[in-house]
Structure formats: C-alpha cells, structure tokens
Amino acid sequence: MSDYKLEAAVAAMKYIKTGQTVGVGAGSTIANLINLIAAEPALASTLTLVSSSFTTAKLILEKGLRLQSANTIKELDLYFDGCDQFDEELNALKSGGGIHTTEKILAAMAHEFILIGDAGKFSAQLDVTYPLVIEVLPNALPFVMKHLNINFPDASLNLRMSSQKDGALISDHGNYLVDIHFAALLPLEELNTKIALIPGVVAHSLFYRMAAMAIIAGQDGVKILTPQR
Ligand SMILES: O=C(CO)[C@H](O)[C@H](O)COP(=O)(O)O
C-alpha cells in the first residue's frame, strides 16, 4: 500500500538547501520529513531546525539534529507543515493539534510556507468537516464567547477540555482553546478578520492566504500546487 505522507515528505526534501533555517510543524508527514533529513547527514549537519510542536522537537533532538528555539529568531527560509484541510487558494485549517498560534508565527516568519500531506487534505473549498480553533486569553474567555455567539449565532462553541485532568485544556502559551463548529462557513476573509479582531483572541486556526505552495501525494502521484486566486 502506498504511503502518501512519505511520498509528500520525499518531494519536500528537494526544496531544502544547504545551510537553511527550516521550520517544521506537527504530524506524521512532518515526522517523515525529519526522518528523511536525518538520513542525509551531509545536508542535516548544515541545517538549523525550528519547530512549533513539542512532539516534533523531541524527534529532532532524538535524531541528533540542530534545534533552535523560535524565540531566538525572526525569520525562516522555509516552514513546512501539515493541515487538516486546505483549498485551492491554499487557505488551510489547522485545528487538530491546538498549537496553531506558534504554527502561524512560524508560517509568517518564513520566506516560503509550504503545506505537505496526502491528497485527502484537499477540498476545492474549505468546509465544516473540521472545527476552527481559537486560542483565547483566560481572563477574556466570557467576553470572547459572548462576541463569538453574537458574530456566529448558528455555530456551536466548545471549550476544549483536558482528557488527562479535570478542567480545561491549557495551550502551550497558558491559554484556553475554543472549538467552533459552523453550520456553514462564512466567506474566509470575513471569518479571518472578524475573529482576529475580538480583544482577547490570541490567534485562530484558519491560515488565510499564507501558504505559497502545497506538496500533496495521492493516487495520481505527487502534485505541487500554488495558490489559485
Ligand atoms: O495541522 C496539524 C496540527 O494542527 C497537523 O499538521 C496535521 O494534523 C498533520 O497531519 P498529518 O499527520 O496528516 O501529517
């Protein structure tokens, strides 16, 4: 059986050049990419890796690769990340991991933000299969919830709860995460700004017009997609 996530990671390797500072996100496609980098010591020894993910950072260190903290740099040559779903404009929903705030910072820091994954992530238009996630400052939670309800009366809001302890899940930045399930998505530009403008919102998980390229692998082979706008 084909391993599309591995095929996408193999194709992504071609974009990494000697001496670059490369950001990497989360997920199994990214784990494949780290393994491939580690398998090329001549290249790997020249790279500096930065990750938005605790799990990926751990793998980078286990592989003996150079890891630098995001808080010591202001730009990346490349940032690779997976997503839950992306569309033909390469707008992406990145909801699963709850780490979209740092993912977004690294994506914005990069000269090129490249989505990688299997072709199943593509949908001509984003739909409501996945929730949109909002990182919220704890002391603004009731206010943000109120404004989300006013702006999106048909949506359902859920504070993400911890499965390992009593109470709310706390993000890497000490904040809450609110999942919004929409009955239908609003135009993405409107969604992007409406949520971001509520005071107390740190970041939401819609990556609107940020990606420069997507590398996806599926039954038809590996495809390199650029934004269709
Ligand atoms: O968006 C993400 C986390 O928020 C991940 O990048 C996404 O879930 C990756 O998945 P995969 O395991 O298919 O590479």
- Residue 169 belongs to domain spanning: 132-202
Per residue in 156-199, pLDDT tens? 999 999 999 999 999 999 999 999 999 999 999 999 999 999 99
What 8-state DSSP symbol labels residue 138? G
Q: What is the distance between the alpha carbons of residues 158 and 21, in angstroms, rounded to a whole number?
A: 37
Proportion of the chain above pLDDT 70, given as a percent: 100
- Give the number of domains in the chain: 2
Active site annotation includes 75: no
pTM of the predicted protein model: 0.96
Instruction: Work out the mean pLDDT of the chain and round it to a whole number.
Output: 97
Task: Single out the residue of 59, 159, 142, 55 nearest to residue 99, CA to CA.
Answer: 55
Q: What is the pLDDT of residues 40-86, one digit of tens each?
A: 999 999 999 999 999 999 999 999 999 999 999 999 999 999 999 99
Q: Please pick, among 103, 112, 135, 189, the residue that the annotation labels catalytic.
A: 103
Taking the centre of ligand 1 as the mean of its atom positions, its distance from the CA of residue 96, in whole angstroms, is 7
User: Residue 135: its pLDDT value, please?
Assistant: 98
- Between the CA of 150 and the centroid of ligand 1 the distance, in Å, is 30
Both 164 and 219 in a single domain?
A: no
Which residues have any ligand 1 atom within 6 Å of their CB? 5, 25-29, 81-84, 94, 96-97, 99-100, 117
Same domain, yes or no: 115 and 217? yes
Q: State the pLDDT confidence band at 2, using cuts at 50, 70 and 90.
A: confident
Inter-residue contact 220 to 153 (CB < 8 Å): no
Same domain assignment for residues 49 and 26: yes
Same domain, 93 and 195: no
Q: Which atom of ligand 1 is nearest to the CA of 26?
A: 6
Q: Quick one: pLDDT at residue 1?
A: 72
* CB contact at 8 A, 71 and 106: no
Please identify, by atom number, the ligand 1 atom nearest to the C-alpha of residue 100. Answer: 4
Q: What is the mean pLDDT of residues 98-106?
A: 98
pLDDT tens-digit series, residues 198-217: 999 999 999 999 999 999 99
Instruction: Assess whether 73 and 120 both reside in one domain.
Output: yes
Q: What is the atom index within ligand 1 of the atom nearest the CA of 92?
A: 1
